[in-house]
Chains A and B, each alone.
Chain A
């Protein structure tokens, strides 16, 4: 019969007598997330890669064919396609991150309870949230990365370095939303609450945060409302970088807002999950 348990101090077994560092705590879940990705990537291809390109085709190319205005009315974009692509990618970053941090978080707490299984190991709730958000970052980065690469041949980017920097901005944008949504999902008890996020959050933001048209078209009041949304900051910064129309002070404000939203959301995510699992 194999020896399956420790019989005393002489055993050469793995022992952690200290807290894991945040990095170690997250890295120990690498194999788990790898298997999660291996079993979900095929299903995610449609939502992550194919449907965004449908948007580009329908809105950017086909609808955009009717839009003939001077670049000055498109925030400096030479064509409607060049205007809409950065906005769509930034919005895709938000959507990817929100999807990854709604049902999967609820599942880990309520349905398959994987968080609770993981918490019976040296991992802490902090490590679970970090790894979860890292995986979300990976999903945002790959989805947006592919988007940028596919769009490059269409001549919508003014420089080569602009989209590279913009890729980083889309990650920042996605994670700002992902962190807050994680906190929300770790707090609510029922998946019915997600309807709120999708209908009152995601869709209005997607439509009115400057992805499809310049927010100056909204009129002075609504324009200022749009300027208060984190997505607009993401869209605007991504677009300025892609079109090489960067205004330094605006860019600094955009980046600062996104960082503040991300850091506060991350803090809240860690705190909310810790409270939830201690109950």
Chain B
């Protein structure tokens, strides 16, 4: 039985690559050589915009998409050789809903558990426990198509836990959910983390990454732009505070030059200026002293969004 000593990382990638050959023969490199290491019990995030290579990386980690280059070990095993063994110990919550709409809520869990070879009685017990955990007990016999988006996502998470996985992979777990549904989901994921489940999350929401991840990598165009805890990344790549200024349309570039000295850095976005400094209120005062009159202002703490902007020159969600 291939078993890893506890010190070995849950997931280790060295120079991991993924490329696709299109029907016209063009080769697209989705992942261009990344190194990652995920340790037992941590919540690890891939943060990046759509097309950054997050999902391709996740599919390789899920042992369903063959590695194009480099080395990947999941639970100490090579996915090319031990795919089924790895998958029996993973939980996968895909970005796209793959629940069976024709089956009711309970049967979705039951049937899925049977794929893992779990005994019928055991699966039934686990399915009921999991429905309790994701707060869907009342919907036990409901049809999947009658569930809300948030409930479907929770059911998918319950399904991914039916084999009591060592690692739970969540690809964009809250995309498309309303704020309340997101918070319910975050709460459940946080509880899983407390139980010691290793979580691997991809997201293009910086607040999600900050809420859930102990450590993350910022991905952009198939490479890792930075790595660390959310707080470390913010400390390293941004300032404590940010002053957001909105001027009448068309004035942003000219204004940016006039205030360039007020912060460590000034970013010009289509709809606003961001002035990075340790004291945002002080920046605002100085702007007023110079006779500038922004239409709207906001002082806030730096977030991972600012880190991303600094690293790539682009915003996460455009």
Contacts and interface: CB of A to CB of B under 8 A. Distances in A.
Contact of A278 (B66, B82, B89, B192): B66
B102 interface: yes
Interface in A93-108: none
Interface of B: 1-3, 20, 62, 64-66, 82-85, 87-92, 94, 96, 98-103, 107, 110-112, 114-118, 126, 129-130, 132-133, 159-161, 163-166, 168, 191-192, 195-197
Contacts of B160: 120
A121 interface: yes
A217 interface: no
Given A8-B196, A114-B100, A14 B114 contact: no
A2 B130 CA distance: 8
A192 interface: no
B163 A13 contact: yes
Please give me the 5 A-B residue pairs with the lowest Cβ-Cβ distance, nearest first. Answer: A117-B98, A120-B92, A121-B115, A122-B84, A2-B129
Contact of B88 (A11, A29, A121, A279): A121
A18 B103 contact: no
B115 A118 contact: yes
Given A6-B166, A278-B65, 8 more contacts: A2-B130, A5-B168, A13-B164, A18-B84, A24-B117, A116-B98, A122-B84, A124-B84
B117 A16 contact: yes
B195 A5 contact: yes
B161 A4 contact: yes
A113 interface: yes
Interface stretch (A31-39, A81-89, A148-156, A245-253): A31-39
A73 interface: no
7 contacts: A5-B168, A14-B116, A17-B88, A39-B102, A112-B100, A117-B159, A120-B64
A62 interface: no
B246 to A, nearest CB: 43
A190 interface: no
A75 B219 CA distance: 71
B2 A17 contact: yes
A15 interface: yes
B281 to A, nearest CB: 43
A124 B99 CA distance: 18
Contacts of B20: 279
B195 A3 contact: yes
A37 to B, nearest CB: 12
A15 B116 CA distance: 8
Interface of A: 1-9, 11, 13-20, 24, 28-32, 35-36, 39, 112-114, 116-124, 277-279
B116 A32 contact: no
Nearest to A117: B98
B115 A123 contact: yes
A14 B88 contact: yes
B129 A4 contact: yes
A124 B83 contact: yes
Contacts of B130: 2, 4
A40 B290 CA distance: 75
Given A4-B129, A18-B84, A112-B98, A121 B161 contact: no
A114 to B, nearest CB: 6
A173 B209 CA distance: 55
A128 B130 CA distance: 26
Contacts of B115: 28-29, 32, 118, 121-123
A130 to B, nearest CB: 14
A120 B161 CA distance: 12
Given A121-B88, A279-B20, A6 B165 contact: yes
A4 B111 contact: no
A20 B115 CA distance: 11
Given A4-B161, A5-B168, A121-B115, A17 B195 contact: no
A109 to B, nearest CB: 11
A116 B65 CA distance: 11
A117 B288 CA distance: 57
Contacts of A279: 20
